[in-house]
A and B are shown apart, each in its own frame.
Chain A
Amino acid sequence: MEFLIRWSSWIYGCLLIAYPRELRRRFGADVIEVFEEQLCEAAMQCGRSGIVSLWCTALWELASVAASRLESTTVIAGPCRFWFRRQSPGYFFDPSDNRFQISIVKGGCTMRGQIPVALFGILFGRSGHCCWTSRSHQTLSYMAVDCHGDRLSAFHALLLAQVWKNDATVKT
C-alpha cells in the first residue's frame, strides 16, 4: 500500500502541470502533501478502493482546471482569437497572474483596441507568444504572457505600448 501511495503522489505531482505555473511555484509542494494525506486517509479507511475513488476525484479536478484554462483563452476578442487559434492551437497561459499588464487608460473594447494586439501576435506569435485581454474598471487591460504562462519581458510589453501610442501605462 505504501508503494501505491508513493507512486500515486509522484504521478499526481507530474500532473500538476495542468495548473498555472504561479500556483505550482507557490503551493506545488503543499498541494502534493495534502494529496498524500488524503491518500493515507483513504487507504486507511477504504483500502485500495479508497485510493481509486480519490484518483477519480483528482482526475476530474485536473480535467476541469485544464478545461477552464483553455476556456479562458476565448476572452481574446474577434480576429485575434481566430488568429491565435489558428496559429497556436495548444497554447495556454495564466490569466490569474496580473503582476505585469499594460493598461490602456483611455481605451475601450473597440476594434481599434484590438489592432495592436493583432500586430503583437503577428510579430511574436510565431515564436509562441500570445496576449490576454480583460475589461476592468472601464479600462481595457492587455496582459502579455507567453504560451508557457510566463510573463513577457519588459521589452516586449513596452514595444506593445509603443505600437499602441495611446496613453498607455505599463504596470510591473
Chain B
Amino acid sequence: MVTMKPKRIPEDLQRLLPLTPAVFFVLFSLADGQKHGYAIMQETVALSNGEVRMGPGTLYTTLQRVLDLSLIEEVAASGVAGQNDSRRRYYRLTGNGKLLLEAELSRMDSVVRLARRKKLALRPAE
C-alpha cells in the first residue's frame, strides 16, 4: 500500500494538531473551493452527517481564529465565479491551511490504520 507523507508543516502550525472539530470542519469544508459563512456551516452539517452543528457565534469565532493564523483568507465576492453576492464575505484555504488539513487527515488516517491493526471493530466506510 502506498501512503503519501504530508509535506513538512511549520512548527507554529504543528502546535495546532490535533485540530479542534470546529477548525477541522471549517478547513475541510473549504477544501473544495471558496465559500461564505453560511455555506461553510451547511457544508459542515453535510460532511459530519449532521453530527456537528456550529452556531453562527462558533463559526465566526473559528473563522476569526483561522484568519488570524493565516490558514484561510478572504476573497473578494466579485472574484468568486458563479457567486456574485457582494454582501457576503467569501473565504478560501491558504497554502498553510491546506498543509495543516492534510497533516490532520494523515494523522486521522494513521490512527484508523492503527485501530485496524489492533483489530478494533472498525469497518471501512461504504
State the A residues within 8 Å of B (CB): 16, 19, 22-23, 26-27, 30-35, 37-38, 57-58, 61-62, 65, 96
Residues 67-107 of chain B, each 1 if its beta carbon lies under 8 Å from chain A, else 0: 00000000000000000000101000000000000000000
List of 8 A-B pairs having minimum Cβ-Cβ separation, nearest first: A61-B55, A34-B56, A27-B60, A31-B56, A35-B56, A34-B38, A37-B38, A61-B57
Which residues of chain B come closer than 8 Å to A35, judged between CB atoms? 56
A34–B61 Cα distance when bound, in Å, is 13
Neighbouring A residues of B57 by C-beta, 8 Å: 16, 19, 31, 58, 61-62, 65
Residues of A within 8 A of B37 (CB): 30, 33-34
Whether B59 is near chain A, meaning CB under 8 Å from some CB there, is yes
Main SS class of interface, B: helix
Q: Which size class do B's interface residues fall under? A: 10 to 19
Q: How far, in angstroms, from A19 to B64 measured CA to CA in the complex?
A: 12
Known contacts A30-B89, A34-B41, A96 near B56 by CB under 8 Å: no
Which residues of chain B come closer than 8 Å to A27, judged between CB atoms?
A: 60, 63-64
A-B contact pairs, 9 of them (CB 8 A): A16-B57, A19-B61, A23-B64, A31-B57, A34-B37, A34-B41, A34-B56, A35-B56, A61-B57
Q: Considering the chains assembled together, what is the distance between the CA atoms of A38 and B41 in angstroms?
A: 10
Q: What is the chain A residue whose CB lies nearest that of B60?
A: A27
Chain A residues closer than 8 Å to B63, beta-carbon distance: 27
User: B14 on the interface (CB 8 Å rule)?
Assistant: no
| CB pair A34 B53 closer than 8 Å | no
Is the pair A96, B38 in contact by a Cβ cutoff of 8 Å? no
Q: Cβ of B56: which chain A residues have Cβ within 8 Å of it?
A: 30-32, 34-35, 38, 58
Residues of A within 8 A of B41 (CB): 34, 38
What distance in Å separates the Cβ of B48 from its nearest Cβ neighbour in chain A?
15
B11 shortest CB reach to chain A, Å: 11
